[in-house]
Amino acid sequence: MQRKILLAALSATAALLAGCASAPRTAPPPTRTARAPVLPRHGGMRRPRPPAPPSPSLAHTRIALLLPQTGPLRHAAQSVRDGFLTAYYQLPAGERPQVRIYDTAAGESIAALIARATRGGADFIIGPLLRANVAAAAAYSVAHPPILALNFLPRGVPQSSGLFQFALSPTAEARLVAKRVLADGHRLGIAIVPAGVWGTRVLHAFAPQFEAGGGRLLATARIDLSASDYSGPIERVLLIRQSRERLQRLQTLLGMPLAFVPRRRPDIQFIFAPAPASTERMLEPQLRFYYANGVPTYSTSDAFTPNPTANQDLDGLRFLDMPWMLGNPLANAVHAVTDRAWPAGGPDRGRLFAFGFDAYHLAVALFVRRVAPGALELNGLTGRLRIERDGRVHRSLIWARLQGGEIKILPPQ
- Report pLDDT digits (tens) over 271-285: 999 999 999 999 999
Highest mean pLDDT among 22-31, 210-219, 389-398: 210-219
Beta carbons within 8 Å of 77's beta carbon, 6+ residues apart: 67, 68, 69, 129
Every domain of the chain and the residues it spans: 2-9+55-165+327-396, 170-232+267-322+399-409
Closest C-alpha to 286, from 229, 236, 220, 239: 229
Q: Per CATH, which fold does 170-232+267-322+399-409 belong to?
A: Rossmann fold (3.40.50)
**How crowded is residue 19: how many other Cβ atoms within 10 Å of its Cβ?**
12
- What average pLDDT is seen over the chain? 84
Residues 355-408 pLDDT 10s: 999 999 999 988 877 777 777 889 999 999 998 888 899 999 999 999 988 999
CA–CA dist 93, 397 (Å, integer) = 33
Closest C-alpha to 353, from 334, 333, 375: 334
**How crowded is residue 125: how many other Cβ atoms within 10 Å of its Cβ?**
26
Alpha-carbon 204 to chain mean position:
17
Q: To which CATH superfamily is domain 2-9+55-165+327-396 assigned?
A: Response regulator (3.40.50.2300)
One fold for 2-9+55-165+327-396 and 170-232+267-322+399-409: yes
Radius of gyration of the chain (CA): 25
Q: Which residues of 362-397 are buried (b: 16+ CB within 10 A; e: fewer)?
A: bbbbbbbbbbbbebbbbbbbbbbbbbeeebbbebeb
Helix (H) or strand (E) holding 118: helix 110-119
Which pLDDT score is estimated for 254? 59
Which pLDDT score is estimated for 262? 66
Residues 124-164 pLDDT 10s: 999 999 999 999 999 999 999 999 999 999 888 888 888 99
Kindly report the length of the chain.
413
Q: Where does 143-276 show beta strands of DSSP type E? A: 147-149, 163-165, 188-194, 216-223, 270-272
Which pLDDT score is estimated for 259? 53
| pLDDT band at residue 57 using 50, 70 and 90 as cut-offs | confident
On whether the CB atoms of residues 371 and 21 are closer than 8 A, the answer is yes
Which pLDDT score is estimated for 55? 54
Crossing angle of the two packed helices 329-341 and 2-10, in degrees rounded to 10:
160
Kind of pairing between the strands at 383-387 and 188-194: unpaired
DSSP 8-state code for residue 265: -
